[in-house]
Chains A and B, each alone.
Chain A
């Protein structure tokens, strides 16, 4: 569209996306496919069948060292010392005042080795903070090593993994890490994802990523862009940095208590602030409306008074109508409406997640 003032990064699959008709947009410093023709159909493919996202823009950090679990336990919001080898966990990087700097997954590869996957937009800041908080630890940023991350998601993803591996009994636990043998070598995976569906994140090497993508296409897995990814994660009410979570929001506001497990007693950055916090005054609610899609920043009203702003909005493919999230004061009740560019339209407050999770199925 317009000339970029800086050079965008592109994933090893950039040409594949263009060949598939992907509409390429700038996203967090990367050229990424927002869709391959239909955001809605791609989201439906993940809900009903299987789809794959190239999420190689997400940053991959690897940390190694003798007391790495203890150091990560201090550096991150979540309890890491009891994270089993071969499992992934969701947690957050917090400020000292307990504001959320990022959310991330920690993958325990060995007793003394972890991989962290963090948001592309926060790569540099996270790297600076983590390397500072983890002094004395061997740190590597593998994001641009030529490999990447493919998120294979949807109810059929288990069968796709069985076909890729040739193992009819393949059935890893939710959040488990593992390796499968494929025609292009040993492939590292985790049973994780960000859609609320049964799914996998695959971590191909530079040599594997193009053949893996090609193999997935030949297994009729739908290519899915970032536009659908946003619908799917919002339907599942999974928070997105910059929307539901940011520096002014604590894990308690965002109902992410499970991401700071052990917060009452553990010594970690943000822990003292969390323990000193008064009870949170706001909470995240779900809103549904009829036709128009609430966009980030729109005002939310209750009985005509502005009570909050929209964090995220999207067209739900499962429900067939628009959905949105907003922080509003606790204990308010009444008729909700949303200001659509000067026109207030009724909205209903609904339970989160909008669509039940099936990721453990």
Chain B
């Protein structure tokens, strides 16, 4: 079951807003499409990204993929333990497998997909 408390990008990242802090991750569909993960590269705390900018890479046995930042802002926390515990991302992408917390200006997300729109996208790609 995909959570309804966050928004999604068509490149399969999710963003969950809490005040002016946005938690960023990738969806179960992204993880399933990638298959067995071998490597995750995340930025350092203090890095800044613009909306849509690549902030890292995730790599599987099959492919390597950029990770896109759904919001503009500064990275205030990184789930750096995840890089050595990729099974947590593989098995739990919406909770323990979160990637970054980004501080944004303001307190709203930009133009992203809601759950219903994201589910429609996924079923069209499955």
**Residues in A lying within 8 Å of B, measured CB to CB:** 1, 34-35, 38-40, 227, 231, 291-293, 295, 314-315, 322, 341
Smallest CB-CB separation from A227: which chain B residue?
Answer: B62
Chain B residues with CB under 8 A of A40: 36, 61
With a cutoff of 8 Å between Cβ atoms, the chain B residues found around residue A341 in the complex are 57, 64
Inside 8 A of B59's CB, which chain A residues have their CB? 292-293
Contact A38 B36, beta carbon cutoff 8 Å: yes
CB-based nearest B residue for A231: B61
A295 near B62 with CB under 8 A, answer no
Residues of A within 8 A of B49 (CB): none
- Chain A residues lying within 8 Å of B64, measured Cβ to Cβ, are 292-293, 295, 341
A88–chain B nearest beta-carbon distance, Å: 31
B125 at the interface (CB under 8 A from A): yes
Please tell me if the beta carbons of B61 and A227 are within 8 angstroms of each other in the complex.
yes
Contacts of A295 in B (CB 8 A): 64
Which B residues are in CB contact (< 8 Å) with A293?
A: 38-39, 59, 61, 64
Q: How far in angstroms is the closest Cβ of chain A from B72?
A: 22
A298 CB to closest chain B CB (Å) equals 10
Residues of chain A lying within 8 A (CB to CB) of residue B38: 291-293, 315, 322
Report if B3 contacts A (CB, 8 A): no
Cα-based distance from A292 to B61 in the complex (angstroms): 9
Q: For the complex formed, measure the closest distance between the CB of B62 and the CB atoms of chain A, giving whole angstroms.
A: 6
Separation in Å of the B17 CB from the closest CB of chain A? 30
Chain B residues whose C-beta falls within 8 Å of the C-beta of A231 in the assembled complex: 61
Interface residues of B in 21-75 (CB under 8 A from A): 35-36, 38-39, 57, 59, 61-62, 64
Q: How far is the CA of A295 from the CA of B60 in the complex (A)?
A: 11
| Cα-based distance from A111 to B106 in the complex (angstroms) | 81
List residues of chain A with CB within 8 A of the CB of B57.
341
List chain B positions with a Cβ less than 8 A from chain A.
35-36, 38-39, 57, 59, 61-62, 64, 125
Supposing A40-B36, A291-B39 touch, asked if A1 and B61 sit within 8 A by C-beta, the answer is: no
Closest chain-A Cβ to B57's Cβ sits at a distance in Å of 7
Least Cβ–Cβ distance between A1 and chain B, in angstroms: 6
**Minimal Cβ-Cβ distance residue in A for B126:** A1
A314→B36 CA distance, assembly (Å): 12
Could you say which residues of chain A place their CB within 8 Å of the CB of B36?
38-40
Bound-complex Cα distance A292 to B58 (A): 10
**Distance, CA A147 to CA B43, complexed state (A):** 52
The answer to whether A315 and B39 have CB atoms under 8 Å apart is no
The residue of chain B having its C-beta at the shortest distance from the C-beta of A37 within the complex is B35
Inter-chain CA distance A1–B59, complex, in Å, is 20
Smallest CB separation, B84 vs chain A (Å):
10
Cβ–Cβ < 8 Å partners of B125 in chain A: 1
| Cα(A293)–Cα(B36), bound, Å | 12
Task: Determine how close the nearest CB of chain B comes to the CB of A197; give it in whole angstroms.
Answer: 20
In whole Å, how far is A314's beta carbon from the nearest beta carbon of chain B?
A: 8
Q: How far is the CB of B65 from chain A (nearest CB, A)?
A: 11
For B39, what are the chain A residues with a Cβ–Cβ distance below 8 Å?
Answer: 291-293
CA distance A323 to B36 in the complex (A): 16
Chain B residues within an 8 Å CB radius of A34: 62
Which residue from chain B places its CB closest to the CB of A41 in the assembled complex?
B36
Q: Which 10 pairs of residues, A with B, have the shortest CB-CB distance?
A: A292-B39, A39-B61, A291-B39, A315-B61, A40-B36, A292-B59, A315-B38, A1-B125, A40-B61, A293-B38
Return chain B residues, CB-CB under 8 Å to A227.
35, 61-62
Cβ contacts under 8 Å, A314 to chain B: 61
What are 7 sample pairs from A and B whose C-beta atoms fall under 8 A apart? A39-B36, A227-B35, A227-B61, A292-B64, A314-B61, A315-B38, A322-B38
Chain A residues whose CB sits within 8 angstroms of the CB of B35 once the complex forms = 35, 38-39, 227
* Docked pose: A315 CA to B86 CA in angstroms: 15
The interface residues of chain B lying within 8 Å CB-to-CB of A38 are 35-36
